[in-house]
Structure 1
Amino acid sequence: MLRRLSLAVAVAAASSGLAQAQEVPLSSKTDLVTVYQEAVNNNADLAAARAQLAARQELVPQARAGLLPYLSAGAFTGDTRTKVDTSAGSQKVDRNAFSYQANLSQPLFRADRWFQLQAAQATSEQAALEFSATQQNLILQTAETYFAVLRAQDNLAATKAEESAFKRQLDQANERFDVGLSDRTDVLQSQAGYDTARANRIIAQRNVDDAFQALITLTNRDFPAVEGIRHTLPVQTPVPNDAKSWVDTAAQQNLNLQAVNYAVNAAEETLRQRKAGHAPTLDAVASYEKGDNDALGFSNSGANEALGAAAGINLPRYNGDVEQTSIGVQLNIPIFSGGLTSSQAREAYQLLNQAEQQRESLRRQVVQDTRNRHRAVNTDVEQVSARRQSIVSNQSAVEATEIGYQVGTRNIVDVLDAQRQLYASVRDYNNARYDYILDNLRLKQSAGTLSPADLETLASYLKPDYDPDRDFLPPDLGATEREQRNKTPQL
């Protein structure tokens, strides 16, 4: 009697055997939105970007400070010993001085500082957009990491089903050899196929563990299991399905492109700032100072009298504290600074040129990425459909090959190759599904429209009780296989 390959049988065997160690309570499964929320709260790269944003935003108040009043205050105290040699001998006078003062300066015309403020504001806007781009990238990174887990799990499920199918093929080859229906070569070929499938299953299991580890790295949380995506997820072409429309949207909304525009603005303002180093400056200044006679340059009466007597002259006498107040306008005209200002202007010009070239390079890259991802999504739509049909075709091919093997028109190598093709088509189908999901998100990121709402939309198609060992195939294909199995005579 004929034992034919059935994916449904393989799935059932894998689920009851190798998959038991992987089973987890359904209540412990995590959905995509929860993973994203944990990433937002715990991702180290996002926290570093947030701190960088806060630091770069401080450039604005720092630059603005150069246009605001500057007020300083201070005090002085000290002792002075004066010695005067005369014909009558040396005279020594000790004096103590103390004063305090306040100075106020208000820039009236500072072109360089004004352009510095404009550059700082542009840099602050650039930093905010770069942080938004980091937040947007975290959305994509979360989806990539999450669906990498699902991809690895589905690949493991298909590999375990393949291993189970090759094990049954090996058992059948042994049975046929025992009754004299085949030679030893069939047994050895089947054993080799089974050993290879077993090795592939071990690698696939490691890939699942690696995918979960990446999820821990992203969120700093340990997730024992995640919800899978339903096969009913709509696979549709982009809306609008016009590459030019997507490119035009990207030119206006791509966050990295907007950020580099502000980088160019900042470089332009910095160039103006450097050139303004040749311009005169005008400040309003005021000062107030109060202290004793000695501190402000007026000798006290005792010192004057002693020094005057020693020198044989009469010095003026001042009594009490001295108070001075001044207010005015200070003009400074730069004439020569050793070529520093000119050199800084040339440096700023080259940095502006660099920023403009980087913007052009990024613009071209955004256009390329947007067009490529638009094509990728359209290709994925066709791939999902073609890969799904490929499973059906390979199922039929396996069935026909096994019948041919039973009647002697095919050999065991043909059967094993047909089985490999079948499970390769299953993996290709699931890979096409996940490529479609991620390429859609990448297209939206290029266009600058990616948002957490896109993850929420995907989450609505998650299946809380998703079991990779059961659901790695579309339900209708699994049902078809079960019907075929029930009609198939057993050996």
Structure 2
Amino acid sequence: MLRKIALAIAVSSGCNAVAAQIAPLASRTDLVSVYQEAVNNNADLAAARADYAAQSEVVPQARAGLLPNLSAGSDITDVRTQLDEPAQTTSRSGTTYQATLAQPIFRADRWFQLKAAKAVNEQAALQLSATEQNLILQTAEDYFNVLRAQDSLAATKAEENALKRQLDQSNERFNVGLSDKTDVLSSQASYDTARANRIVAQRQVDDAFEALVTLTNRDYNSVQGIVHTLPVLPPSPNDAKTWVETASQQNLNLQASAYAVTSAEETLRQRKAGHAPTVDAVAKYQKGDNDLLGFSNPSPYPGVEYHGDVEQRTIGLQVNIPLYSGGLTSSQVREAYQRLSQSEQQREGLRRQVVENTRNLHRAVNTDVEQVQARKQSIISNQSAVEATEIGYQVGTRNIVDVLDAQRQLYSSVRDYNNSRYDYILDNLRLKQAAGTLSPRDLQDLARWLKPDYNPDKDFLPPDLAKAAQELLKPAKQ
């Protein structure tokens, strides 16, 4: 039957000759190129970078509260005074200038605010790194989902062709009186179902390519496929405890949650410092009309009023002791306590989730390794079952329903095999992401196993399966 599968491949590949001309092999995109386009054009990553740039401004904003504050101003006034007794109206206009320099000396709340801002900045940097790391995984998922859909489509087309030939054979047997109409109807129903499945599979390929467009804002006609010789090995080291320990130390989201706790701790200290006194050094300069400034009489001559311009320079310390603010500070302290508790519980919840995910993914990769081998063997076994069922149908010991079921099971095992391959690749990357070790180099390592001239219609099956099936059938032929 693998020879028949090869025939189905030849038939279906003929239908794709035009598509091959539209998308020549040289235009096939590789995994690393897709990732580079995603880095340059992905909207979510651009938004994350802008968010980080905005979050990083909290540090200079908090630091500004500890640095000198200089302000200057000017007033232009016109004062009119009217007296009833004696009836008299006077007016006076003038301009005043002032400048004030304030330097915080003791501001505990602002110091803790700065430390909280630095923690927030570190948290934002780690969250950006987590987004960048997630883009690596998202690129791999979208890329291999295209290959998964293409391989599924190829298997579905091969199944459709095989069932079409079975339908033709049933019609021939019916015409010469070797079978009844039931065989023809059963074959027709199976072929119609396969044809409908092929239409759905084609849509899934288009959907998968559309996901790449969303990821990179670029159109793709074809991508390079992964060879069947990709090593399928257990995770290294193959010890769940080691992976969990690595994840506890390096998982980016978990590290970000630790800085969230630090920020909440510093915010609590900031709120408590609202009860502490503040000390500022203040220097002030004023110049203007004596009457407008309201200075005391600066004339050196007693009893003589001075109405001209004057200058005044002052320097001193301002001490403020908060006594009561309507309970605002105490309420803010209680709120900060609860926010701290919230961030600690969120960190613990995330830690447990990371541990669970890491252990589950470690098991998943080991299961995938066994699945790939088992699914590959399943293709050989189902191939043998198809051969044996067809022989039984020819000699009258099996019916057409048995043949059709065997064929459907064969192509189902082909799809399961390819799905297990892509599950293995993606679960490996997910495990590394959970552990915090995923990097672009992992995509480069995978790219070494890509086939530039990959053709799903002929490469969806491992090249050694035909030989293996023949070896399995030798005892039955003797």
Report the TM-score, using the length of structure 2 for normalisation. Answer: 0.95
State the SS of the aligned residue for 1:105: strand
State the SS of the aligned residue for 1:226: coil
1:455 corresponds to 2:443: yes
Within 5 Å, which residues of 2 pair with 1:173-322? 173-297=170-294, 316-318=304-306, 320-322=308-310
State the SS of the aligned residue for 1:475: coil
1:167 corresponds to 2:155: no
Query: 1:290–1:282: structure 2 CA closer, same or farther, 3 Å change rule?
Result: same
Asked if structure 1 preserves the Cα contact closer than 8 Å seen for 2:66 and 2:104, the reply is yes
State the SS of the aligned residue for 2:461: coil
1:482: how far off?
9.3
Asked if structure 2 preserves the Cα contact closer than 8 Å seen for 1:6 and 1:481, the reply is no
Counterpart for residue 27 of structure 1 = 26
**Structure 1 counterpart of 2:285, one-letter code:** Y
Within 5 Å, which residues of 2 pair with 1:371-410? 371-410=359-398
Counterpart for residue 156 of structure 1 = 153
Identity %: 73
Counterpart for residue 54 of structure 2 = 55
Query: Which consecutive unaligned segments of at least 5 residues does structure 2 have?
Result: 474-478
State the SS of the aligned residue for 1:396: helix
Aligned-partner Cα distance in 2 for 1:330–1:214 = 62
Counterpart for residue 119 of structure 2 = 122
Aligned-partner Cα distance in 1 for 2:330–2:307 = 54
1:85: how far off?
3.2
**Structure 2 counterpart of 1:6, one-letter code:** K
1:447: how far off?
0.1
Counterpart for residue 142 of structure 1 = 139
Aligned-partner Cα distance in 2 for 1:227–1:298 = 85
Counterpart for residue 469 of structure 1 = 457
Q: 1:418 aligns with which of 406, 410, 417?
A: 406
Aligned-partner Cα distance in 1 for 2:342–2:110 = 23
**Structure 1 counterpart of 2:427, one-letter code:** D
Aligned-partner Cα distance in 1 for 2:412–2:305 = 109
**Structure 2 counterpart of 1:135, one-letter code:** E
Question: Deviations for 1:297-326, whole angstroms, at most 9, x for unmatched residues?
Answer: 26999xxxxxxxxxxxx9732154201010
Would you identify which runs of 4 or more consecutive aligned residues in structure 1 move more than 6 Å? 481-485
1:65: how far off?
0.3
Aligned-partner Cα distance in 1 for 2:264–2:472 = 70
Aligned-partner Cα distance in 2 for 1:146–1:227 = 9
Question: Deviations for 1:266-293, whole angstroms, at most 9, x for unmatched residues?
Answer: 0000000001100000111110101122
Asked if structure 1 preserves the Cα contact closer than 8 Å seen for 2:384 and 2:472, the reply is no
State the SS of the aligned residue for 1:67: coil
Question: Deviations for 1:393-437, whole angstroms, at most 9, x for unmatched residues?
Answer: 011000000000000000000000000010000000000000000
Aligned-partner Cα distance in 2 for 1:36–1:192 = 43
RMSD: 1.9
For structure 1, which segment, 77-86 or 115-124, has the greater mean C-alpha deviation from structure 2 after superposition? Answer: 77-86
Query: 1:484–1:14: structure 2 CA closer, same or farther, 3 Å change rule?
Result: farther
**Structure 2 counterpart of 1:50, one-letter code:** R
Asked if structure 1 preserves the Cα contact closer than 8 Å seen for 2:104 and 2:279, the reply is yes
State the SS of the aligned residue for 1:81: strand
1:294: how far off?
2.5
Counterpart for residue 84 of structure 2 = 85
State the SS of the aligned residue for 2:312: strand
Question: Deviations for 1:450-482, whole angstroms, at most 9, x for unmatched residues?
Answer: 000000000010000000000000011245679
Q: Which has the larger radius of gyration?
A: 1
Asked if structure 1 preserves the Cα contact closer than 8 Å seen for 2:290 and 2:306, the reply is yes
1:103 corresponds to 2:100: yes
State the SS of the aligned residue for 2:311: strand
Aligned-partner Cα distance in 1 for 2:411–2:211 = 26
State the SS of the aligned residue for 1:456: helix
1:6: how far off?
2.2
Counterpart for residue 431 of structure 1 = 419
1:9 corresponds to 2:7: yes
Query: Which consecutive unaligned segments of at least 5 residues does structure 1 have?
Result: 302-313, 486-491
Question: Deviations for 1:27-62, whole angstroms, at most 9, x for unmatched residues?
Answer: 111000000000000000000000000000000000
For structure 1, which segment, 170-179 or 403-412, has the greater mean C-alpha deviation from structure 2 after superposition? Answer: 170-179
Aligned-partner Cα distance in 1 for 2:265–2:18 = 62
Aligned-partner Cα distance in 2 for 1:145–1:353 = 38
Aligned-partner Cα distance in 1 for 2:196–2:80 = 95
Aligned-partner Cα distance in 2 for 1:389–1:468 = 20
State the SS of the aligned residue for 1:99: strand
State the SS of the aligned residue for 1:245: helix
Counterpart for residue 476 of structure 2 = none
Aligned-partner Cα distance in 1 for 2:126–2:454 = 38
1:334 corresponds to 2:333: no
State the SS of the aligned residue for 1:325: strand
For structure 1, which segment, 318-327 or 372-381, has the greater mean C-alpha deviation from structure 2 after superposition? Answer: 318-327
Aligned-partner Cα distance in 1 for 2:390–2:216 = 48
Q: 1:359 aligns with which of 344, 347, 358?
A: 347
Report the TM-score, using the length of structure 1 for normalisation. Answer: 0.93
Aligned-partner Cα distance in 1 for 2:414–2:393 = 23
Counterpart for residue 343 of structure 1 = 331
Aligned-partner Cα distance in 1 for 2:127–2:295 = 61
Query: 1:420–1:81: structure 2 CA closer, same or farther, 3 Å change rule?
Result: same
Query: 1:471–1:483: structure 2 CA closer, same or farther, 3 Å change rule?
Result: farther
Question: Deviations for 1:12-31, whole angstroms, at most 9, x for unmatched residues?
Answer: 222123x3454221011100
Aligned-partner Cα distance in 2 for 1:47–1:4 = 49
Question: Deviations for 1:145-204, whole angstroms, at most 9, x for unmatched residues?
Answer: 000000000000000000000000001111111111111111111111100000000000
Asked if structure 1 preserves the Cα contact closer than 8 Å seen for 2:234 and 2:366, the reply is yes
Q: 1:131 aligns with which of 128, 131, 141?
A: 128
Query: 1:299–1:242: structure 2 CA closer, same or farther, 3 Å change rule?
Result: closer
